[in-house]
Chains A and B, each alone.
Chain A
Amino acid sequence: MRGDQIFGLVMIFAALGYLFSAAGIETSFLSDPVGPRVFPYIVGGVILVSSVVMILQPDPDAAWPGRAMLAKLALTLVVMVVYAVSVPRFGFVLPTVIASAILSYQISPRPGPAVLTGLGLGVGLFVIFKYALGLGLIGLPPAITG
């Protein structure tokens, strides 16, 4: 199966779920002639039709990354998810240093520059955002600074 067809199939299920969910939207007696369901029905219908077309007439497949590259991309995603979850908990600096060092290492696998990039970005961006731009970032883990 080509990428277009797989994606089309996924979108068909998504559209059906969307239409089903739209059917469950509560309307109120005050509502207008169209109501809150009709537009979602139209939109869901367009997704459904275009997904079917994508399955029937797929374009030539793109060059998808190999297994090693997929693993690398997945790792990147995991790093970013962990980063997103840990910033509110551990402050800005530490997660940023670690996450940017890992990202940097993935692009150019040399530990030295990676660590320097991490430190530079973690501290540098914090200083810029906090003091030059005045954003309300918390630098260090709230547990340490109280």
Chain B
Amino acid sequence: MALSKKTLIHMYETMNKIRLFEQKLQEFFAAGEIPGFVHLYLGEEAVATGACSVLTDADTITSTHRGHGHLLAKGGDLKLMMAEIFGRSTGYCKGKGGSMHIADFDLGILGANGIVGGGGPLAVGAALATKYKKAKDVTVCFFGDGASNQGTTQEALNAASAWKLPLVFVNENNGYGISCPQCKSMAVVDIADRAAAYDMPGVVVDGNDVLAVYEAVTEAVKRARKGEGPSLIECKTYRWRGHFEGDACTYRCVEELEEWMAKDPIPRFEAKLLESKTLTQAEVDKIKASIAKDVDEAVAFAKESPMPSTSALMDDVYA
């Protein structure tokens, strides 16, 4: 697929943005400056980036408890995200949501979600709204291998197919649901096989190859926009960190982690861009430095921002 230089560079920037943002979170969580749970997306950047790069602002996504990558790839603001994760009043959700509950409806981000499998039915609703209004937008539902076993996910796949909705299910198969390896939670090897049960295309892609994800999602989005219904794309990937920060992760072996870290999606893509002369080394360095600066500014913004006032507690319970 011939992609414009602009798109390629945007994808490269997005992956680095997710990486550096999350490495900062890792650092600040360890320092005790971030409350609650933090589930990092490190190692999985190619999935969100490949998928969201196909979408416009009018298209919608539903995200998961591991949502920072999806949100940033969909255009989420670094500062507003950082402030929310630090629990500040200037954050995306005024400090009421935190890492697991960030949304930006202007960007089509229908929210990260603390409930595993919570996103599927919501995505069905969003896609239904599109069809109802006879618009051409699509919805992407991100969900994990663990979430694929939840009834809500299976119900969503079925309804989306029965109603021929413009919905793309992007499964992020990182091999584990907390400590539970895929082989213990399901009998199939490829989650994409389940698409057959709902009569929709099911595709397996290398989730650490941003271009492979982009291509598969492009096909599925085309199909969705034409009114031909949903698709299921399974992206095989791996999470580098424990399930949450603080998880000692004793249920996985180091060799497995090392094997996957050698398939780091960012250097892989970078090498392609350098080889094809889309970017020079100097440009790569410049991009990384500029993102690092943006991330630092986001941290500074978060830290300078006030905590929410208790007088705001009862706001927004009802419209």
A and B form one complex: no
Q: Using a CB–CB distance below 8 Å, which chain B residues touch chain A? A: none
Q: Using a CB–CB distance below 8 Å, which chain A residues touch chain B? A: none
